[in-house]
């Protein structure tokens, strides 16, 4: 091949998307073709390392931590596979219905209390409780005399991406689970009565359930950990391929470092850690810190792609 001919040859990566020639049916006409030079050169927006604050006093309803515009997706999403939200109810108010269009969603009761009813056997909840709900329509949240502020995370974007629907309750992979605050404190006391190894990533309580215990996950795709940080300490810098959504539960003079940027904590703020981003958490105060972290870790554990590694000794 002459140099002139080589120069005139179109680079494979520059070929446009190809259509079939003379398709014989509508099914054949739908075919499209790329090549190994351009099929994987897809530019997607990065997941922003964002912070969301809870709704101000006097504002009631459902408040999504929505980054769909920045992510370039056509459905509410905090990360590509997870959606976080706050729900505030006035005293003795009822939110009906609450539809969980996800495999499951986890909820933390920030303040107040009330009762859950509707799609599953109901139960009363109070401040500091955690509960897990399988996908279903028609849940009902009833606030008590003090009202209620809740925080929840589900995998709605994962299902919306494929326009999928949650399995019927009878076929769901999880059940409704209630973790009362008193039991959570008992578990923390047990954890703090034990020692740790050098490779242990801090002291954290990991939530699971009877049907997900073998995988040690909350749902097939989501993990939930309640992390702690002693005064004047920090969690070693690390990274993982799962995205993380963090709720600040307790901590003064605390901050996170995400991708080299300092992010001061605010009470009950939601922090988004992009997948793969180096990050660490720091407690410069005199009291212990606590923070809830939901990750799409179950998905990565199943795919063997978690990629967790410490970035400092």
In this predicted structure, the answer to whether residue 282 has a pLDDT above a threshold of 90 is yes
Q: Please give the helix or strand (H or E) that residue 255 lies within, else none.
A: strand 254-258
Stretch 50-75: mean pLDDT: 97
Q: Please give the helix or strand (H or E) that residue 134 lies within, else none.
A: strand 130-154
Burial of 145 (0-12, 13-18, 19+ CB in 10 A): exposed
Stretch 229-249: mean pLDDT: 96
In this predicted structure, the answer to whether residue 23 has a pLDDT above a threshold of 60 is yes
Q: What is the pTM of this model?
A: 0.93
On whether the 51-194+201-310 domain is CATH 2.60.120.10, my answer is yes
Higher pLDDT pick, 64 / 42: 64
**Per-residue model confidence (pLDDT) at position 268:** 98
pLDDT in tens, 151-179: 999 999 999 999 999 999 999 999 999 99
Higher pLDDT pick, 8 / 57: 57
In this predicted structure, the answer to whether residue 116 has a pLDDT above a threshold of 60 is yes
C-alpha atoms less than 13 angstroms from C-alpha of 205 in its C-beta half-sphere: 19
Question: Taking the CA atoms of the chain, what radius of gyration do you get in angstroms?
Answer: 23
């Amino acid at each position: 091949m002459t140099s002139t001919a080589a120069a005139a040859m179109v680079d494979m990566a520059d070929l446009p998307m190809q259509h079939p020639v003379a398709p014989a049916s509508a099914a054949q006409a739908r075919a499209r073709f790329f090549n190994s030079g351009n099929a994987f050169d897809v530019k997607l927006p990065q997941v922003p390392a964002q912070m969301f604050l809870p709704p101000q006093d006097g504002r009631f309803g459902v408040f999504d931590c929505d980054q769909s515009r920045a992510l370039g997706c056509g459905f509410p999403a905090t990360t590509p596979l997870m959606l976080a939200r706050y729900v505030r109810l006035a005293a003795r108010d009822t939110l009906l219905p609450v539809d969980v269009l996800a495999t499951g969603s986890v909820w933390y009761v920030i303040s107040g209390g009330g009762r859950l009813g509707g799609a599953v056997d109901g139960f009363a909840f109070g401040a500091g409780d955690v509960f897990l709900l399988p996908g279903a329509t028609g849940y009902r949240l009833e606030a008590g005399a003090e009202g209620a502020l809740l925080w929840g995370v589900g995998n709605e974007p994962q299902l919306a991406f494929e326009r999928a629907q949650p399995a019927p309750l009878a076929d769901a992979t999880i059940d409704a689970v209630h973790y009362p605050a008193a039991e959570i404190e008992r578990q923390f006391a047990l954890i703090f009565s034990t020692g740790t190894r050098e490779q242990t990533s801090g002291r954290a309580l990991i939530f699971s359930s009877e049907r997900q215990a073998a995988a040690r996950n909350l749902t097939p795709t989501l993990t939930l950990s309640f992390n702690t940080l002693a005064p004047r300490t920090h969690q070693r810098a690390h990274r993982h391929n799962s995205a993380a959504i963090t709720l600040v539960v307790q901590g003064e003079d605390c901050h996170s470092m995400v991708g080299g940027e300092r992010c001061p904590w605010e009470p009950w703020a939601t922090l988004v850690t992009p997948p793969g981003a180096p990050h660490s958490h720091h407690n410069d105060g005199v009291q212990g810190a606590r923070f809830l972290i939901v990750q799409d870790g179950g998905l990565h554990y199943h795919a063997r792609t978690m990629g967790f590694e410490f970035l400092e000794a």
